[in-house]
Amino acid sequence: GEAYSVDFAHFIDNNNVILESTMKDRVGDSISDKNVLQAMYLNQEYDVISDVEGKNAYQVFVPVFVEGEKIGTLAVGQNTETFLAAAFGVIGKGIWVLFSVIVVMGVLIVITYNKSASQLKLAYYDPLTNLPNDSYMKEYLSSKIAQRKIKNKAIFLINMRNFRTINIALGFEVGDLIIREIADRLEEALGKKGMLFRFTADRFVFYVENYQDAKDLEKVSKIIASVFDRPFEYLKRNKQIRPEIGIVEISDRYRNVDDLMKDGVSFSSSPGSL
């Protein structure tokens, strides 16, 4: 029979960066597909048909563990034309017939997966901002709290103190536009420094790790504050939004997300929390 091979393979570290790859120009690239990131954060296998260098490719992402600790994710892929040719090329060759059927069924599963993927997105992503929501945040932070080996991890709770008043004064539709603009600004300003979530209607949470010291946290806090310095289009004749930023460093004393968020809320609501 003919051997089944892959066209490319990547090893992705726990920061979502491709460390090694058969496609050398991809080394150092970051994974940006939110559905793939979702699966990796939850340590789930994931397969998808997507565009790779202008061609459709079938990709499978599998978490890799060593002695119970996740060290990264292995991604393997094959051009869909090669993939289907390999599937049909082995038909009629004894035991490979079954393999061909399984492969073709796998393609069909991937195609129909879009239906369940949309349900997954509803469960884990905020429809207004497309940011990970509070459900995603709780699972993500729970895993980070449990990982004692990660050095220097913290959250920023970003609270818009006067947003509710503005929301009532201008209407909820305008309020939604402002929230979407804030989310876009935060994503642009914070880039790949950490993970941003929409926690509640008027609060965001930003997670960072492996920073050097408190000065690094202060720098991030200033970046977040600067997002609100520029006037918002719908608030030209109104007061600007005043952010409160609470910072909580995740120490061993935190056993769950609820305790962590309680401190985050109290810090962001206290004077001088910025």
Q: What is the pLDDT of residue 169?
A: 83
User: What value, to the nearest 5°, has the Cα angle with vertex 31 and ends 44 and 132?
Assistant: 65
Quick one: average pLDDT of 86-97? 48
pLDDT digits over 130-157, tens only?
999 999 999 899 989 988 888 899 999 9
Q: What is the pLDDT of residue 101?
A: 44
Question: Residue 113: which pLDDT band, with cuts at 50, 70 and 90?
Answer: very low
pLDDT exceeds 50 at position 273: no
pLDDT exceeds 60 at position 107: no
Distance in angstroms (rounded) separating the CA atoms of residues 86 and 88: 6
Q: What is the pLDDT of residue 267?
A: 57
Please check whether residue 41 is in contact with residue 142, taking contact to mean a CB–CB distance below 8 angstroms: no
Quick one: average pLDDT of 106-112? 46
How many angstroms from the chain centroid is the CA of residue 160?
23
The residue whose two tokens read 């979407």 is 180
Q: What is the pLDDT of residue 225?
A: 94
Q: What is the pLDDT of residue 220?
A: 95
**Burial profile 32-65: b = 16 or more Cβ within 10 angstroms, e = fewer:** eeebbbbbbbeeeebbbbeebeeeebbbbbebee
pLDDT digits over 191-238, tens only?
888 999 999 889 999 999 999 999 999 999 999 999 998 888 777 655
Q: Percent of the chain scored above 90 by pLDDT?
A: 28
Q: What is the pLDDT of residue 226?
A: 93
Residue 79: how many CA atoms within 13 Å on its side-chain side? 7
Quick one: average pLDDT of 82-92? 52
Q: Percent of the chain scored above 70 by pLDDT?
A: 76
Helix axes 96-124, 34-41, angle to 10 degrees: 100
Report the DSSP pairing between strands 8-12 and 18-21.
antiparallel
- Asked which of 6-10, 22-26, 260-264, 268-272 is least confident by mean pLDDT, the reply is 268-272
0.75 surpassed by pTM: no
Q: What is the pLDDT of residue 124?
A: 84
pLDDT exceeds 60 at position 15: yes
The residue whose two tokens read 């962590």 is 260
